[in-house]
Structure 1
Amino acid sequence: MDLKPLITLLAIVNPLAIVPFFIHYTQGMGARQRRRTILISASTAFAVIAACALAGLQILDFFGISLASFQVGGGMLLLMSAMAMLNAQPAEAKTTREEVDDAASRASIAVVPLTIPLLTGPATMSTVVIYAERAQTFWQHAALVGYGVVVALATAACFALAEPIARVLGKTGINVMTRLMGLILAALAVEVMAAGLQRLFPALGAGA
């Protein structure tokens, strides 16, 4: 079984890096409301990954986008996410301060922005679509959807243990983990872009 998609997804989603956001957004919530937020966030993360795995290629076909172009664009997006992570920023965090303040005042922030875009944004979606194209059998597609379950469980576990994690690791520990994930993601991003460029320009792989 190829675990590279799972490693990539865990590196991008990186729920450890979102723990401070979760603590901020759920301040003042009761235990029941916080559990509900965790459940919705984890379920939504799975739904996004599963939808991209099962229908992502069809969406590309509908818009007439070649997978090679999508690989190059997706690889660039992954590399940008990796650069953000190397600076100890969450890969998918693209919200403004106004959006953060507005989200904190809403009754439910489980889907937006906690899950989308902080956990599963464009980089996550493009990664799933790229790996979905490489899946040749039903079981490979099923494994990709199953990786969504693993990501959802990892998200739920990190959020459920958010306060102990924040106390044990501290901001420095979370930053170190984020940078390590960013280094892994940068290497994977280069591989994705290289594969796309070889499809677009076959001469690049002629000497390989």
Structure 2
Amino acid sequence: MSLAELSVNFFVALFALIDPVGNVPLFAAATVGATPAGRRRLAAYIALFSLVFLTLIYFSGLSILQFFGISMPAFRIAGGILLFLLGLDMVRDDFTARFADESEEGAEPLSTSAYARRRFERLVVPFAMPLLIGPGAISTVVIYAAEAKDFGIRGMGAGVGVIAAIALSILVSFWMTSLISRALGRIGMTIVVRILGLILCAMAVQFIIAGVAASTHNLVRHDAVSPYETDK
């Protein structure tokens, strides 16, 4: 496999796993009531975090998890629990209420940068990780980093370029959130929040099932871990 083919495959796999376009409605739900400028700044923070974190994983591999003695199945289960709690908040409508109320409570309105920093602190977990950057994305970065070593510095540079392109796709996708919010309206956003909350809960349970299956022997059936896997 050439370096160009490796880079293209890496980008396609990572883009499919992170799915920035598919997460736009969820980002819109998480920023109900935000100004367009505040939402753009928050999107920039999330994209920058993705760039830095994935680059760190690209060069360090699983060393960080190994240092703390954390396995990928354990990471997947923990991520599933966090996503489940987030999904419950969205289904109960506490999620949108929490963001809308905060913008009204302060005696002085927050500046764009202050709003983005405060919201980023609350969304970095579980939105940026593990929803955007989950175990699948982390393991994919580690695998392609190992393959890129065969190309030396060029390979490592190409990998960083792919990660930068993914971060840019997150930024551009989330900057389109205002268009989606105007199209759906407040009622439409409320409906989206509740539906996505249910989907997140189901995704969280699937994460936990996969984590349990990977850490046990024949405790979970294969078709429960990968229900839609086609036979080749």
Q: TM-score over 0.5 for the alignment? A: yes
Give the Cα–Cα distance (whole angstroms) in 2 for the partners of residues 64 and 95 of structure 1.
39
- Pairing 1:86–2:91 present: yes
- Pairing 1:153–2:168 present: no
- Matched letter for residue 177 of structure 2: C
- Pairing 1:124–2:165 present: no
Count of residues paired in the alignment: 191
Q: CA deviation at 1:170?
A: 2.7
- Matched letter for residue 47 of structure 2: F
Give the Cα–Cα distance (whole angstroms) in 2 for the partners of residues 10 and 113 of structure 1.
24
- RMSD over aligned Cα atoms: 3.8
Query: Paired residue for 1:30?
Result: none
Give the Cα–Cα distance (whole angstroms) in 1 for the partners of residues 166 and 66 of structure 2.
24
* TM-score for both structures, normalised by structure 1: 0.69
Query: Paired residue for 1:26?
Result: none
Give the Cα–Cα distance (whole angstroms) in 2 for the partners of residues 22 and 196 of structure 1.
36
Q: How does 1:138-149 map to 2 (within 5 A)?
A: 138=145, 146-149=165-168
- Pairing 1:15–2:17 present: no
Give the Cα–Cα distance (whole angstroms) in 2 for the partners of residues 112 and 100 of structure 1.
17
Query: Paired residue for 2:194?
Result: 179
Q: Counterpart of 1:85 in 2: which secondary structure?
A: helix
Query: Paired residue for 2:149?
Result: none
- Matched letter for residue 60 of structure 1: L
List gaps (5 residues or longer) in structure 1. Answer: 24-33
Q: CA deviation at 1:123?
A: 4.3
Q: How does 1:18-167 map to 2 (within 5 A)?
A: 18-23=30-35, 35=37, 37-56=38-57, 57-90=62-95, 97=102, 101=106, 104-106=109-111, 108-118=113-123, 120-127=124-131, 128-135=133-140, 136-138=143-145, 146-159=165-178, 161=179, 165-166=181-182
C-alpha contact 2:18 2:137 (8 A) present in aligned 1: no
Q: Percent identity?
A: 19
Greater C-alpha radius of gyration: 2
Larger mean CA deviation between 77-86 and 5-14 belongs to 5-14
- Quickly say closer, same or farther: Cα 1:38–1:105, change in 2 above 3 A: closer
Q: CA deviation at 1:103?
A: 8.4
The CA deviation string for residues 120-162 of structure 1, in whole angstroms up to 9 with x for no partner, is 3334312414123431325898766644433322222224x48
- Quickly say closer, same or farther: Cα 1:193–1:108, change in 2 above 3 A: same
C-alpha contact 1:103 1:113 (8 A) present in aligned 2: no
Q: Counterpart of 1:202 in 2: which secondary structure?
A: coil
Give the Cα–Cα distance (whole angstroms) in 1 for the partners of residues 212 and 64 of structure 2.
21
- Quickly say closer, same or farther: Cα 1:196–1:71, change in 2 above 3 A: same
Q: CA deviation at 1:205?
A: 3.8
Give the Cα–Cα distance (whole angstroms) in 2 for the partners of residues 58 and 103 of structure 1.
44
Q: CA deviation at 1:10?
A: 4.2
Give the Cα–Cα distance (whole angstroms) in 1 for the partners of residues 39 and 99 of structure 2.
21
C-alpha contact 1:12 1:123 (8 A) present in aligned 2: no
- Matched letter for residue 188 of structure 1: M
